[in-house]
Chain A
């Protein structure tokens, strides 16, 4: 992706060839080796995750509830009918969307700021780089518990901090008040996830040739123009991958919500993943849990596919070489 013209030229060179030729090429000098290179990744994923997903799919068309003897493996659409007639499911999908968008935008933004701040050398840069990675270095189980103590309405330090601001002197119930609770959770998610964005974007920034900025300096471009015309386009692929990954992380996020609110108050923070967990491990209805899981899967695939189409249409088509 660096100098835009070169990879495109490379793609021209790799025009698709007739199937037989390509098949033969797989085992000749050029192509056999790349095909072998993809195999381990695909095999591992197919066995460890793909296989359980297929089993989950089958499960979702059965009625397997551990704690109920009147269940069985016959084909049924029961779980899907139940799912689409449950008003809580639609609400959860919407909450998942809000939670995901808020977390992704926030984490990408903070990560980008942090990456830009520590991009060039200065005294103590490696120290600051380590600081920015710290929230990620500690397991979410533990950091979430710290946030829980900080958010405590009476004894928590968060209220002491905001009460330093003028005009606020009553305690805010961060995890109960309907106006705050979702935002409080998103803040924790952002704090825990932004180092991922930071790391990727930092690596992405390193790939941008310094000469481009030097040339822009000569042309008299200011910092904002440089960011907009050099940094942003060059980071496009990395930002896309980062956003997809953060989206998946926050969509699947379980620990933060489960530990801090358990989906409450009054289901206000019950996302699709929390609902899936409750179906599978509070009611032990594995089939319904699997159906909700399939819903999450389809939902994520649609969003990611749309997103990739919007941002990386050219690259992906290039890779597909159609």
Chain B
């Protein structure tokens, strides 16, 4: 028993130390978000001398923050859901169907992410212009899907690999179709991986800047990430309001994660929880 409490204490110690290191920049961001405009380099010591809420109220009175948040929410939820759907189906097929060239497909899928986007941004713009998708939410969504699919395929393939085929076969012997076996057996078992893919897709889309900025030139269609960039004006960066906007802008992601992380527990572990 003594051993157990000691290891518990060590665990808590490392946990708290790690957390402090990780959270400090975020704490500092909060400090700056409550600092008067232009004064972020005047904060002395480790906590602010005075607080102002101005930066936050300004977000909603002087900028279309709400609109940006709604755009982001729309793009992020649709693109992550579609990426998950498309990626999962491909991941499942690549895991279960062993055909010549499957390995090559896996690599090719990955290769699409290796070209620095700035090198192909002109062809991308041109493509979306020809598709008639400039200045549309659909265009940005499609762009974001293309960023998340590769990871979705790789992640879900790994998960399906780990699920014994026997389980599905058993279901099929019981009269299920392949689709039903996939739906009722493989999918639930892979759910932690799918949740992770969804979170990854959501956050990637939430932050994505290049597609969202290049393909859209109307402020009312901007996503939040582009809106954040707009605090850098021609002569001054409205740094402290930008920090306030960042704080507000990260809240939905935190909520999505808090809601979904409870489901990041597999059946196998749940039984063993002390």
Contacts and interface: CB of A to CB of B under 8 A. Distances in A.
> Which of A2, A49, A202 has the largest count of B CB atoms less than 10 A from its CB?
A49
A10 B106 CA distance: 20
A48 B127 contact: yes
A207 interface: yes
Given A139-B246, A245-B151, A29 B19 contact: no
Interface string B242-274: 110111011001100110011011101101111
A45 B103 contact: no
A162 to B, nearest CB: 13
A149 interface: yes
B268 A52 contact: no
Contacts of A83: none
A134 B22 contact: yes
A50 interface: yes
A134 B27 CA distance: 11
Contacts of A120: 273-274
Given A16-B98, A49-B112, A254-B118, A209 B268 contact: yes
A30 B172 CA distance: 11
Interface in B36-57: 40-43, 45-46
A227 interface: no
Interface stretch (A31-39, A166-174, A176-184, A261-269): A31-39
A286 B125 CA distance: 14
B90 interface: yes
Contacts of B103: 316-317, 319-320
B96 to A, nearest CB: 6
Given A137-B253, A208-B268, A53 B243 contact: no
A143 B109 contact: no
A199 interface: yes
Interface residues of B, number: 117
A56 B103 CA distance: 25
Contact of B29 (A1, A117, A142, A277): A142
Interface residues of A, number: 123
Given A145-B239, A147-B25, A55 B272 contact: no
A138 B250 contact: yes
Interface string B109-124: 1111111111111111
Given A2-B162, A44-B145, A321 B93 contact: no
Given A33-B178, A130-B258, A304 B110 contact: yes
Interface string A99-140: 000000000001001100110111000101111111111111
Contacts of B90: 37-38, 40-42
Given A56-B123, A315-B161, A296 B149 contact: no
Contact of B196 (A200, A308, A318): A200
B187 interface: no
A272 B116 contact: yes
Contacts of B117: 252
Interface string B219-244: 00000110011000000010100110
A56 B115 contact: yes
B173 interface: no
Contacts of A145: 237, 239, 242-243
Given A14-B98, A141-B225, A1 B196 contact: no
A214 B96 CA distance: 30
A90 interface: no
A72 interface: no
Contact of B98 (A110, A132, A210, A321): A321
Nearest to A40: B86
A147 B25 CA distance: 7
Interface string A143-162: 10111011010111100100
A6 interface: yes
A146 B116 contact: no
B155 interface: yes
A149 to B, nearest CB: 5
A207 B268 contact: yes
Contacts of B195: 203
A273 to B, nearest CB: 5
B22 A280 contact: no
B34 interface: no
Contact of B119 (A114, A293, A322): A293
Interface of B: 7, 11, 14-15, 18-19, 22-23, 25-26, 28-29, 32, 40-43, 45-46, 86-87, 89-90, 92-107, 109-124, 126-127, 142-143, 145-146, 149-155, 157-159, 161-166, 178-179, 192-193, 195-196, 199-200, 203, 206-207, 209, 224-225, 228-229, 237, 239, 242-243, 245-247, 249-250, 253-254, 257-258, 261-262, 264-266, 268-269, 271-274
What 8 pairs between A and B have smallest CB-CB spacing? A293-B119, A210-B272, A142-B246, A34-B93, A52-B123, A320-B103, A48-B146, A37-B89
20 contacts: A1-B158, A35-B97, A41-B152, A44-B86, A44-B146, A52-B124, A137-B254, A138-B246, A142-B243, A146-B28, A149-B32, A203-B192, A241-B154, A248-B110, A251-B114, A276-B119, A277-B118, A308-B107, A315-B161, A318-B98
Given A49-B113, A128-B19, A297-B111, 11 more contacts: A1-B162, A14-B98, A38-B105, A130-B261, A141-B229, A155-B41, A155-B42, A203-B264, A206-B265, A248-B113, A280-B122
